[in-house]
Amino acid sequence: MPGKQRGEPRPTSAGNRSASDHERRRRLLDIASGFESSVVRFPCVIYVHATTAADLALGLQECRDCAYALGWHVVGTIAWTGERCRTVEHRNLDRAISYFWERRAKALLTVHQAMLPRSGDQYRAFVSTIEAHNGFVHFRKPAAGAPSAERGDGSW
């Protein structure tokens, strides 16, 4: 059948739409129905560090997919490549914390714990600062050897 090969519209899958397109469609439906949606997307900031650009792109995509799956709204992305330098790392961590100070984010989404400060004291201070501003840290992948309760795999 020649008509099926060209010109026939295909439905767009929801996975191919951007966050702004989803928001625009939701607003159009609300206006058309006369209903005001009370659903507010959960704001998060993505924090990714990698040594290579390829690893960075992969980490960013994993975090974006996770945010989309959880229904979170990404308000900011902090991504950087290269070796860990104390000043660069602190500057980027401060940028991440600023989203919580300004109350623009409620969650920090990262691939795994190794992307955050390596020192136990620095890590605890970073997480407690976020928690003090009513936020939390969500890891896309659990740390190697983490107990099942920390991994959140549903086991008690």
CATH numbers and ranges of domains, the chain: 42-141 (3.40.50.1390)
Q: Cα(117)–Cα(47) distance, rounded to whole angstroms?
A: 12
* Whole-number Å distance between alpha carbons of 118 and 124: 10
Residue 90: its H or E element: helix 86-101
pLDDT of residue 152: 42
User: Is pLDDT above 60 for 151?
Assistant: no
Is the pLDDT at 150 greater than 60? The verdict is: no
Secondary structure class of 77 (helix, strand, coil): strand
> Which has more confidence, 58 or 4?
58
* DSSP-derived 3-state class of residue 136: strand
pTM of the predicted structure, to 2 decimals: 0.66
**pLDDT tens per residue, range 18-71:** 777 777 887 787 778 777 666 667 899 999 999 899 999 999 999 999 998 888
Tens of pLDDT, residues 92-123: 889 999 999 999 999 999 998 888 887 888 88
pLDDT surpassing 90 at residue 6: no
What pLDDT, on a 0 to 100 scale, did the predictor assign at position 47? 94
- Phi first, then psi: what are they for 52, rounded to 5°? -125, 160
Task: Please indicate whether residue 76 or residue 82 has the higher confidence score (pLDDT).
Answer: 76
